[in-house]
């Protein structure tokens, strides 16, 4: 059955070169020939000097688009997902980056793959979005989404920080470390994995908390239900910061509380029919290759 995607938005990566305009223009023309209404994100149109298609901001795209096709790497898709999640616009990622855990459609086969997907041959997958805030006294300093992870860490001075962790108002531990990663299942293959955390299947209802270089051998990653509320209290630090997907940050002071909870809406990703997450892991992590 043909999927009902009447209006499709195209979003390119932020450091796209003007040379990418040819790919985007061909893709827009391909969609128009299929009878779809095409929107181009304002930044993409400006960066690539494309003037032949309707242009909208990401927020406007969220209000009117039935589907967003994101050309770039996983970082681009992270940014777009945070903006579109509350509008519940599904996304397809075309990989122009290095890894492609999220943007899993190859640019070399994108026309044939999209032809099938737009005809209804796709797999839909809902993934957890993180909602986080920083509280100082009774004030909320910043509220932000994160698709991959929220990271509390030391900043430029490079000295250990000390923090306490509570889950659903229950004390878990105090820790001296370089920091703590709280990752969604999607983000379990990002910073959390590099810090020694487990890989979570993206459909799991869980968060994983991974200490960064803890000053004790007994500190271990822990997975908790994604409906739990995680609170990180900063006890001691000369210089500390919180990062959201590594794309947005805020400086922290002693006494600040970082709250992490599950977002109200999930991110919906569309994959080619037959998509297999374990194939992606095996390919991206080079499992089974001879040394």
Listed by start position, the domains of the chain span 7-128+266-284, 130-262
Superfamily (CATH H level) for 130-262: Probable inorganic polyphosphate/atp-NAD kinase; domain 2 (2.60.200.30)
Tell me the CA distances in angstroms from 219 to 13, 172, 230, one per residue in order.
Answer: 38, 12, 17
Of 145, 221, 209, 202, the residue nearest 182 (C-alpha): 209
Of 50, 192, 245, the residue nearest 71 (C-alpha): 50
Helix locations, 141-254, DSSP H: 191-194
Can you list the pairs that 15-23 forms with residues at least 24 positions away whose Cβ atoms lie under 8 Å?
Answer: 16/44, 16/47, 16/48, 16/71, 16/72, 17/47, 18/47, 18/48, 18/49, 20/48, 20/71, 20/96, 21/48, 21/49, 21/50, 23/71, 23/107
Whether 7-128+266-284 shares its CATH topology with 130-262 is answered no
Range in 51-60, 199-208, 224-233 with the lowest mean pLDDT: 51-60
* Tally of CB atoms within 10 A around 218: 6
Percent of the chain past pLDDT 90, that is, above it, reads: 76
Average pLDDT, the chain: 92
Banded model confidence at residue 1, pLDDT cuts 50, 70, 90:
very low
- pLDDT at residue 3 in the model: 63
- In angstroms, rounded to a whole number, what is the distance separating the alpha carbons of residues 158 and 275? 42
In this structure, whether the domain defined by 7-128+266-284 belongs to CATH 3.40.50.720 is answered with no
The residue written with tokens 């997975």 in the block is 223
- pLDDT at residue 6 in the model: 96
Sign of CA dihedral 105, 76, 283, 186: negative
* Contact criterion met (CB below 8 Å) for 175 and 162: yes
Q: What share of the chain is helix, strand, coil (3-state, %, to 5)?
A: 25, 40, 35
Of 230, 231, 254, the residue nearest 136 (C-alpha): 254
- pLDDT at residue 289 in the model: 76
Residues belonging to the active site:
74
- In angstroms, rounded to a whole number, what is the distance separating the alpha carbons of residues 211 and 191? 11
- pLDDT at residue 65 in the model: 96
pLDDT over 50 at 157, yes or no: yes
Banded model confidence at residue 17, pLDDT cuts 50, 70, 90:
low
Token pair for 286: 């080079």
The residue written with tokens 């229950």 in the block is 170
pTM check: above 0.75: yes
Of 128, 267, 282, the residue nearest 203 (C-alpha): 128
pLDDT over 70 at 20, yes or no: no
Residues recorded for the chain: 291
Tell which wins on pLDDT, 101 or 185.
Answer: 185
């Amino acid at each position: 059955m043909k999927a009902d995607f009447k209006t499709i938005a195209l979003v390119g990566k932020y450091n796209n070169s003007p040379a990418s305009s040819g790919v985007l223009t061909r893709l827009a023309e391909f969609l128009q020939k299929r009878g779809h209404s095409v929107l181009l994100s304002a930044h993409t149109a400006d960066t690539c000097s494309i003037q032949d298609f309707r242009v909208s901001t990401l927020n406007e795209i969220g209000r009117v688009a039935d589907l967003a096709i994101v050309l770039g790497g996983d970082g681009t898709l992270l940014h777009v997902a945070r903006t579109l999640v509350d509008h519940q616009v599904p996304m397809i990622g075309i990989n122009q980056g290095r890894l492609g855990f999220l943007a899993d459609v190859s640019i070399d086969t994108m026309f044939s793959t999209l032809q099938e997907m737009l005809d209804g041959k796709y797999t839909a997958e809902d993934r957890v979005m993180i909602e986080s805030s920083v509280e100082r006294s009774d004030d909320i300093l910043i509220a932000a989404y994160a698709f991959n992870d929220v990271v509390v860490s030391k900043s430029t001075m490079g000295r250990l920080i000390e923090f306490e962790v509570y889950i659903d108002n229950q004390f878990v531990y105090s820790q001296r470390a370089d920091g703590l990663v709280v990752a969604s299942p999607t983000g379990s293959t990002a910073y959390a994995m590099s810090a020694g955390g487990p890989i979570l299947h993206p459909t799991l209802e869980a968060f994983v908390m991974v200490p960064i270089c803890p000053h004790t051998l007994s500190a271990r990653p822990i997975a908790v239900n994604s409906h739990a509320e995680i609170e990180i209290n900063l006890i001691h630090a000369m210089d500390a910061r919180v990062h959201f997907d590594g794309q947005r940050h805020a400086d922290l002071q002693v006494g600040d509380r970082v709250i992490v909870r599950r977002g109200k809406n999930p991110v919906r990703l569309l994959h080619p029919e037959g998509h297999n997450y374990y194939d992606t892991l095996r390919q991206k992590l080079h499992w089974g290759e001879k040394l």
